[in-house]
Structures are given as C-alpha cells and as structure tokens.
Structure 1
Amino acid sequence: LSLDKASRLVRLEGKSVDLTPSEFDLLATLMAWPGRAFSRGELLDRLQGTSFDGVERTIDVHIRNLRTKIEPEPSQPRYIETVFGVGYRFSAEQVRMKNEE
C-alpha cells in the first residue's frame, strides 16, 4: 500500500484505489504516524477541523469503507488496526509513504 500526498493517489499492489477526500485524508493521517493510536475524536478533528461538530462514530463508517477498499480481508485488517477502548492505528509494518510533510 502506498500513498502519494502530492498527487492524492493511493495504490495497492500497483493498482490505483479510488477514495473519497475524507477517506484519503484519514488514511494519510494514519499513515503519517504508523503505530500511533488515534481516538475517534482526534481523527474527526483532523478531518473536519475543530469547528466541526460531528459524531465520532462517523470515523467508524470511514474506517469500514477504507477497509473494504484496501484490506485483503476487511474482517481481519492488516493495515488499519482497531485499538479497543481508544480508536485506530495504522500498522507500523505496512507503511510506505511518499512526500511526507
């Protein structure tokens, strides 16, 4: 799995993956800090900014959609891991990112 922030392209096994802007931003955030657990609130703030009064469970929907698009077996994710009682993290073993901030 690779992510290019400049071109906003995600590739999985050499094939382009179509993501919504929110899905891309969420994946870019997780991949920028592999192994770091983010709460739903932190991810929502990063996606929408602090002025957005969204529902934290919105993140769960985006994660589910991302897993469907990038995980070989969405029910047993290897890229986006659930951290029970906290939120989500990107597996440190799976990251390869271009054009880091």
Structure 2
Amino acid sequence: LTTLEFNLLTTFVSNPGRVWNRTQLIDKLWGDNFFGDERVVDTHVARLRKKIEPDPANPTFIRTVVGVGYKFEDPLVA
C-alpha cells in the first residue's frame, strides 16, 4: 500500500461502521494542504479496494453508502 492508502485504510479500520464523506476524509488525510477535486477520494478508495478486496467490483470491507460516503465493515463480525 502507498502511504495514503495505508492512512485511508487505518482511518476506516479504526472507526468500523462510521460513514465518512469525502470532505471528512480529505480533512483527515490531506488537511489544509488539499487543492483539487474531492472526487480524488473515490480514486484512492478504488485503488485500495483493488488491493484488499477479494472482489473489488463487489466490495465487502469498504462499502459505499450511496449519497453519503464510505464505511468499513468486517463481514466476519456480526
């Protein structure tokens, strides 16, 4: 994983079930140093999914909450 992907994964895993919107993730990962389109978060989530998901097209760990953002779920924990 890249440093950014690792920090993104750590953010998700440290807060299971919490839904993060793009703005919150940008603030957490880039802080005041961010300039650009917030959709870059989607790109980094997609890259992370390719590396950790058994089937990135049907993610089981990093889930999309439509219209809100992303969250981490452990499918093995009920």
TM over 0.5: yes
**How many residue pairs end up in the alignment?**
77
Taking structure 1 as the reference length, the TM-score comes to 0.70
Larger Rg: 1
- In structure 1, the gaps of 5 or more residues are 1-18, 96-101
* CA–CA distance in structure 2, aligned partners of residues 26 and 56 of structure 1: 14
Following TM superposition, the consecutive aligned residue runs of length 4 or more in structure 1 with deviations greater than 6 angstroms are none
| Larger fraction in strand | 1
* CA–CA distance in structure 2, aligned partners of residues 53 and 80 of structure 1: 25
Alignment partner of 2:18 out of 36, 51, 59:
36
2:28 paired with 1:46: yes
Taking structure 2 as the reference length, the TM-score comes to 0.89
The one-character-per-residue Cα deviations of 1:14-63 (angstroms, maximum 9, x if unpaired) are xxxxx001100011001110000000110011110134233211110000
Contact 1:44/1:54 (8 A) holds in 2: no
User: Cα RMSD over matched residues?
Assistant: 1.6
- In structure 2, the gaps of 5 or more residues are none
Identity %: 49
